[in-house]
Every structure is written in structure tokens, then in C-alpha cells.
Structure 1
Amino acid sequence: MLRNVPPILSPDLLWTLRAMGHGDDIVLADANFPAEAMGARCHRLDGIPATDVLDAVLAVMPLDTFVPDPACVMQVVDDPDAVPEVVGTFQDLVNRRADRPATLASLERFAFYERARGAFAIVQTGETRLYGNIILKKGVIAP
């Protein structure tokens, strides 16, 4: 057992978070996301909401402070200015948990998929709310 590590972070997912380098992306995806088809290593956290996973990941991983958009969500198809409830919760979590809060950027659906294909890993959650997808860019821990 380890202290202060959220219990929903599996040993394999903890390995991934530790193995990622500065600037690597990780995708936290909803239950509808085509995670296995993206080609990155895929971790499954079935039944766990993406918001819980985001909270746990931000407890152990810093966001990149060298880029303007260290966290990015998927835009609603045909309504890019819409902010789904789950995305509002993502923003609240980033504001509360991140070392340096950041405003979430957004990408058109297929642009989001393209960026996800280059991610270090994807975490397929049990999130059932539509558009419950977020890409996080790993930062550094200052000395």
C-alpha cells in the first residue's frame, strides 16, 4: 500500500503516469470513446466517472506550465461553444486541483481524435455523460 495515492489509480496506470515525460499527453475518455482503436496503451477504469479519474490524476501529476493549453476537451458537434455539464466539472477540478490552474481549451471532434492518437496513453473510464473526454499534458515538478 502507498499513502496519499487515490485508490482508483491502478498499479498499471500509476506506472504510466510515472513513465510519462514532460509534454506527453494522456487522454481521460468517456465510455463511448474509441480508445482501443487509437493505438496508444489503454487502461480501463470501467464504472468510474471521468471526473473522479481527473481528480485522482491531478492529485499526482502536474499540468504543463510551458504551453498555453495544458488541458483540452472535445467540442460538441455542431455547437462548438456549448459547455456540457461534465466539461464544467472538469474546469472546476482543474481550477481546484492543478498546481497552476488553466482554462480548458477545446478541439473539434476529429482534431481531438487525431491528438489522442499521439497520446502516451488513454484511460477509458465508465463516464456515461457525453463529451466526457479530456487530454492532459504532463508538466514538471520543480526542485
Structure 2
Amino acid sequence: MLRGLNPLLSPDLLHALAAMGHGNDIVIADANFPAHSNGQRVVRLDGVTATAALEAVLQVLPLDTFVPEPALTMQVVGNPSEVPPVVAEFQKIVDERADIPVKIGGLERHAFYQRSREAFVILQTGETRLYGNILLKKGVIGS
């Protein structure tokens, strides 16, 4: 056990987050997401919502300030401007917890899958709400 860390930050997840470099991506994925077929490295948090996982990850992960959209979600198929409730909750968490709050962008479903294939790690959660997927680009910690 370590002090001051969200207990959802498992040893495997902490190792992945620490091993990530500036510009690497992490995908926090819902239970329906094809994590193992899309990801080179998958860490599982079964029974945990994607929103709880996002809160825990943002406790230790800085968002990239060198790209216009360091946080992206999967757009609703057939209605890309729709904002599902889980995505609205993601935005609230980013606004409250990120070191530098940003407006979350969106990616078409297959483009999101492609980006996930290039991600450093996919964090598979037990999230059952549809479109409960978010991609974060790791930033740097300033001096």
C-alpha cells in the first residue's frame, strides 16, 4: 500500500503510467471495447467504471499541452455531435481533476480504434454505459 494514491491505481497500472513517456496515449475503455484485440498492453479494472478510472488516472497523469486535443472520446455512430451521459461526465471530471482542463474532442469510431492500436496501454474497465471510452495523451511535469 502507498499513501495518497487512489486505490484503483493498481501496481500494473502505476507501472504502465510511470513507463509512459511524453506524447504516449492511454485509453480508458468500457467493458464492450475490444481491448485485447486492439491493444499491445492491457491492464484490467473489472468492476470499475470508466469515470472512476479517469479520476484515478488524472490524479497522477498530466495532459499534454503541446497538442490541441489531449483528450478524445469515441463519437456516437450516426450522430457524431451527440454527447452521451458518460462523455458529459468525462468532461466534468477533466474540468475538475486535470492539471490543465481541456475541452474533450471526438473521433469517429474506427479512427478511435486505430488510435487505440497505437496507444501505450489500454485500461479495460467494467464500464457498462455505451461510449464510455476516452483516450488521453500524456504530458510533461514542469519544474
C-alpha deviation, 1:31, in angstroms: 0.2
- Whether 1:118 aligns to 2:105 is no
- Kept in 1: contact 2:39–2:116 (CA 8 A): no
C-alpha deviation, 1:2, in angstroms: 1.2
Runs of 4+ in structure 1 displaced over 4 angstroms?
Answer: none
C-alpha deviation, 1:127, in angstroms: 0.2
Matched residues, percent identical? 64
> Which blocks of at least 5 consecutive residues in structure 2 are unaligned?
none
CA RMSD of aligned residues (A): 0.5
C-alpha deviation, 1:119, in angstroms: 0.1
Amino acid at match of 2:115: R
Amino acid at match of 2:133: N
Counterparts of 2:3 and 2:39 in 1: how far apart (Å)? 32
Give the TM-score normalised by the residue count of structure 2.
Answer: 0.99
- Whether 1:31 aligns to 2:31 is yes
Aligned counterpart, 2:134: 134
Counterparts of 2:132 and 2:40 in 1: how far apart (Å)? 19
Give the TM-score normalised by the residue count of structure 1.
Answer: 0.99
Aligned counterpart, 2:43: 43
Counterparts of 2:82 and 2:97 in 1: how far apart (Å)? 24
Counterparts of 2:54 and 2:120 in 1: how far apart (Å)? 16
Matched residues, number: 143
User: Superposed, which structure 2 residues align to 1:6-25 within 5 Å?
Assistant: 6-25=6-25
